[in-house]
Chains A and B, each alone.
Chain A
Amino acid sequence: MGLRRRYLPLAGLLAAVIGVQLAASATNSTFYLTQLTMAAYYCLVIIGLCLLMGYAGQISLGHAGFFAIGGYLSAALTSHNFTAVSDTLLMRTLDRAGLLLHHQSLYGDSLLSLQPWLAFFIAIGVAVLIAFVLGIPVLKLKGHYLAMATLGFGIIIYRIVLAAEFFGEADGISEVPPFQLMPGLAVSGDFSARVQNYYIAWALLLFGLLLLLNLINSRMGRALRAIHGSEEAAEAIGINTARAKLYTFVISAAFAAVAGSLLTHFNGGIGPSEASVMKSVRYVAIVAVGGMANLWGAMAMGIILNFMSLRGMFGSYDDAVFGGVLLLIMLFAPQGILSLRLKNILWAKRPMTGK
């Protein structure tokens, strides 16, 4: 049941995505596509966090940390020069397997770095591993305590990228090469590749959304919602709550890391602000505005708010706006912004149920 109801909105979204591109190209305003591409990557973080917060009921104030792990590792491994260690067995093996990239710097020096695909898998792998190791102890905590523990993790990652020379300290990492996904298809910020990148990002977001929609309507999705409702009841019917929470945390971290890695290749660089706690708060705020247990709401709000923010509509008050949004939502619409008017409109038409 409901398969059509699940997939039809996705088809609608796909049509909208294509429509926006055609309209932008026709009116010569493809510059909008750049922000929509970035917003799509941020949205990938947001729907992953929505699964964790809205459905499994576990908060994370450290998701910018996972985004940064994905982004920074991809950036460092594909743009640092590893010529100095090229003689080691590991590097020679990688080279023979075609996983290294020989190129030249602006000044003609030869550079040796990792293939973006290899860097990508290392980055995601590390993020998943860290989520796993962090999740085991941390997910035993609940509510405020879990929020504080994940906040602590976020701060650690932020301070590490800010302090480590390997990660470019306060400057971050720039001149990150394009990510050649396959011949003729690359994640890069080239003006000529704008339309192509718009579609890469949105295809990935749609695919991610499809995976999560399937998940929440499955046996494991029900189990997650049960954990949210009552952990004791979930345990009593045989759900391994600790494991379900951990896997959800890991999946959600992986979504953030994938987004981080690809957005970094798209932007051609990454800076410490991507790892900052305010970014994590922003993700949480957007999930809350979207209505917590509402993937479509989180998605819609993620696109709208990120697009506005990236277009500079909030000016220097960017972070203040998101803080304010979180505050207002918690006060006036804890069920999300979409619940506000809908409730009034639907009140009279609601079918009589129950008693």
Chain B
Amino acid sequence: MLELYSVHKYFGGLHAVDGVSFRVAPGSIKALIGPNGAGKTTLFNLIAGVLPVSSGNITFKGRQIQGFKPHRIAALGMSRTFQNIKLCHGMTALENVMLGRHIRSSAGLLAAMLNLPRTWREERDIRHRAMELLELLGIAEFAEVEATSLAFGQQRAVEMARALATEPELLLLDEPASGLNIYETAEVARLITRIRDMGITVLLVEHDMSLVMDISDEIVVLSFGAKIAEDRPEAIQKNPEVIRTYLGETEEASA
């Protein structure tokens, strides 16, 4: 589904991403973990096209996508959420999700201005699909509430519904559990598994280890921009280098 080959990113003299390669298999949940500043979000932004790669290849569904603008990548079937939720101010939860149908609908400016029958039929379908997604995420009761006035967990759900509305094949989730309590986190875990079961491949960045270990099929560990491990959750937990990165040097640990 997604394949990174020797991806580098420099910010001036800072080597933020250092030759990272991995692949995400279709229908799997892959997690990207690492200490703060390891380059996880940068890598996410490279994949989504927000930042240009310095060198290396990123292929999505067998197609090279580095250099594509974010909206083109989104149109290819990759959708994302943001660590600091980005919902549109002044729009209801429903309208925010309807936004996600943008690339799955076609009415242009002229058709919209004239409000042709085709346009309002399409509009009705968009509304219908958006409502279904709100129901799926259990937030249908907030459909007509201004999205940015919702509780944090609900805002996350709206953002996820918006991402799903684009009918992605690959969903990038940037810290979906940050700021959530343990119950909400458990809810998110169930949701992500459900999304995978719908046939959508998931790549997530996450700090919450219990969530990552529970749901991931495979984990990539980054440290200082470089990949130090890639394996199944059980193996990652036993990997000495990962333990060293997270818990400090072995000398200190044994001392």
User: Using a CB–CB distance below 8 Å, which chain A residues touch chain B?
Assistant: 1, 3, 211-212, 214-215, 218-223, 225-226, 228-230, 232-241, 247-248, 251, 293, 353-355
Contact = CB atoms under 8 A, between A and B. Distances in A.
A251 B90 CA distance: 23
Interface of B: 48, 50, 69-71, 74-75, 79-80, 82, 86-91, 95, 98-103, 105, 107-109, 112-115, 119-120, 122-123, 126-127, 142, 145-146, 149-151, 162-163, 165-166
B110 to A, nearest CB: 9
A22 B90 CA distance: 40
Contacts of A219: 98, 101-102, 105, 107, 112, 122-123, 126
B69 A222 contact: no
A353 B144 CA distance: 9
B80 A236 contact: yes
Contact of A237 (B50, B79, B112, B145): B79
A304 to B, nearest CB: 25
Given A237-B166, A355-B150, A293 B90 contact: yes
Contacts of B91: 222, 225-226, 229
Given A237-B103, A237-B165, 6 more contacts: A214-B114, A214-B115, A219-B107, A233-B86, A235-B69, A355-B149
A82 B163 CA distance: 60
Nearest to A55: B90
Interface majority SS on A: helix, strand, loop or mixed? helix
26 contacts: A1-B127, A3-B120, A211-B114, A214-B112, A214-B115, A218-B115, A220-B107, A220-B108, A222-B99, A223-B99, A229-B87, A229-B88, A233-B82, A233-B86, A235-B50, A236-B74, A236-B80, A237-B100, A237-B165, A238-B71, A238-B74, A247-B109, A251-B109, A353-B146, A354-B149, A355-B149
A239 B113 contact: no
B152 to A, nearest CB: 10
A220 B109 contact: yes
B90 A225 contact: yes
Contact of B88 (A3, A212, A225, A251): A225
A238 B102 contact: yes
Nearest to B151: A355
Contacts of A234: 71, 99
Contacts of B105: 219
B149 A353 contact: yes
Contact of B112 (A220, A225, A240, A241): A220
Nearest to A240: B71
A354 B87 contact: no
Given A220-B112, A238-B166, A226 B88 contact: yes
Contacts of B80: 236
B149 A235 contact: no
Contacts of B142: 354
B115 to A, nearest CB: 4
Contacts of B50: 232, 235-236
A235 B70 contact: yes
Contacts of B127: 1
Nearest to B95: A222
Nearest to B76: A238
Contacts of A240: 69, 71
A34 to B, nearest CB: 30
A233 B112 CA distance: 22
Contacts of B75: 238
B60 to A, nearest CB: 14
A240 B49 CA distance: 13
Contacts of B119: 218
A38 B127 CA distance: 40
A354 B146 contact: yes
A239 B99 CA distance: 9
A218 B123 contact: yes
Contacts of A355: 149-151
Contacts of B112: 214-215, 218-221
Contacts of A238: 71, 74-75, 102-103, 166
A190 to B, nearest CB: 32
A215 B109 contact: yes
Contacts of A241: 71
Interface centre among B82, B88, B101, B127 (most CB of A within 10 A): B88
Nearest to A212: B113
Nearest to A353: B145
Contacts of B123: 218-219
A297 to B, nearest CB: 14
Nearest to B103: A238
**Residue of B70, B107, B123 with highest tally of chain A CB at under 10 A:** B70
B143 to A, nearest CB: 11
A21 B16 CA distance: 69
Nearest to A247: B109
A226 B90 CA distance: 9
B38 to A, nearest CB: 22
Residue of A225, A236, A251 most packed against chain B (CB within 10 A): A236
Contacts of B82: 232-233, 236
Contact of A236 (B48, B107, B109): B48
A238 B77 CA distance: 9
